[in-house]
Amino acid sequence: MALPGKKNPIKTWMRRVTRSRPAHAVIAFCVRGLIVGVRSLGEKRAGRVAGSVARFIGRFVPESKLARRNLAVAFPEKSDAEREQILQGVWNNLGCTVAEYVFLDKLVDIDPERLGEGRIDVVGVDQFLAMRDDGKPGIIFSAHLANWEILAVVAARFGLPVVSLFRAPTNNVIAEDLMRQREQMMGKLVASNRGATFEVGAALDRGEHIGMLCDQHHSRGPKVPFFGRLVHANPLVARLARHYDCPVHGARTIRLPDGRFRVELTPPVDMPRDEEGLIDVDAGTAKVMSVVEGWVRENPEQWLWLHNRWR
């Protein structure tokens, strides 16, 4: 056992080994093999298997305890059994989403000229077309609901490429694989590191559209209400909207029965403004989070309750 104040040499060594280039290559090789195995199962069977595996794993990981606490605070009116049912749905949705990454190119079988014939329904087609044709920059915010990766692919199918912020895996080999595969389907990806703000700003200067997930903890963000409690929220949507005075839309995916999805793009959100007529960052951030809360309340089993949102 390491002495108080001393680093554990075994943990330090393990951390260095797993972050080494050879370790990254080995892990990436295993992940690629797993992808081949998932493909061999087929879309529907892979989703069922992944959902079952995720529900089983969920019994033993500490994230489930955290999720139960979150659900108890968010839905005090629900019984323990009802909240447990939501949690099982959360794990099932997560497992299905992981499996669906492998089939994302086939899953989004939408044809803008023949809507309603594939597995994805679209609400707000007029909004997609208006954003595509108005010649203005725009911001689209979303949340970790259902399979959130579908949104950018659908937008690209409507001729609306979106510059998407994402958190890159620490494994460089896997990150390169994901970047290459996903950019073929959904447009440019920007890793959410220190240089991301400059790339996002440059894209808006060019009149492009930005997509970002805004429902995670942001330690330096303003405190805004979320399910009756204050949370530190990401203010980037409101800050960019204030600077560029551009439209802000919400977008979400809803998982439906029989392997179907519904994608919704809202009309422009009416962002609060200050006395100078500029978008108020704190109030605007609260507005965005109120939209997200409404989405989550409609389909709580499709949101990631597994992270410490109320820290």
pLDDT digits (tens, 9 = 90+) for 71-83: 999 999 999 999 9
* Whether residue 311 has pLDDT greater than 90: no
The verdict on 135 and 281 lying in the same domain is yes
The verdict on 128 and 276 lying in the same domain is yes
The residue behind tokens 């009149």 is 207
Dihedral in degrees, nearest 10, Cα atoms 161, 162, 163, 167: -120
Encode pLDDT of 11-65 as tens digits. Answer: 443 454 445 566 655 554 455 555 556 666 677 878 888 888 889 989 999 999 9
The verdict on 149 and 209 lying in the same domain is yes
The verdict on 80 and 125 lying in the same domain is no
Q: Are 160 and 187 in contact (CB under 8 A)?
A: no
Of 76, 104, 132, which residue is a domain's last? 104
The verdict on 117 and 202 lying in the same domain is yes
Q: Is residue 198, in this structure, part of any structural domain at all?
A: yes
The verdict on 240 and 288 lying in the same domain is yes
Encode pLDDT of 288-305 as tens digits. Answer: 999 999 999 999 999 999
DSSP state of 301: G
pLDDT of residue 256: 94
pLDDT of residue 103: 80
* E strands present in 195-310: 209-213, 223-226, 229-232, 248-256, 260-265
Encode pLDDT of 86-104 as tens digits. Answer: 999 999 998 888 888 878 7
Q: Is residue 281, in this structure, part of any structural domain at all?
A: yes
Q: How confident is the model at residue 215 (pLDDT cuts 50, 70, 90)?
A: very high
- The pairs formed by 109-112 with CB atoms below 8 angstroms and a separation of 24 or more are 110/154, 110/157, 111/157, 112/157, 112/158, 112/159
The verdict on 85 and 193 lying in the same domain is no
pLDDT of residue 4: 43
Q: Is residue 40, in this structure, part of any structural domain at all?
A: yes
Q: Is residue 311, in this structure, part of any structural domain at all?
A: no
The verdict on 235 and 149 lying in the same domain is yes
Encode pLDDT of 241-259 as tens digits. Answer: 999 999 999 999 999 998 8
The verdict on 198 and 230 lying in the same domain is yes
Of 58, 78, 104, which residue is a domain's last? 104
The verdict on 296 and 206 lying in the same domain is yes
The verdict on 85 and 208 lying in the same domain is no
The verdict on 55 and 170 lying in the same domain is no
pLDDT of residue 269: 96
Of 104, 128, 154, which residue is a domain's last? 104
Task: Using the Cα atoms of residue 207, residue 224, residue 150 and residue 255 in order, give the sign of their dihedral.
Answer: negative
Q: Is residue 307, in this structure, part of any structural domain at all?
A: no
Range of the structural domain that residue 64 is part of: 9-104
Encode pLDDT of 255-282 as tens digits. Answer: 999 888 999 999 999 999 999 999 999 9
DSSP state of 273: B
Of 68-72, 171-175, 229-233, minimum mean pLDDT range? 171-175
Q: Is residue 2, in this structure, part of any structural domain at all?
A: no
Q: How many domains does the chain have?
A: 2
Runs of H (alpha helix) within 42-143 = 43-58, 62-74, 80-102, 104-107, 125-133
Encode pLDDT of 119-163 as tens digits. Answer: 889 998 899 889 989 888 999 999 999 999 888 888 888 888 888
* Whether residue 169 has pLDDT greater than 90: no
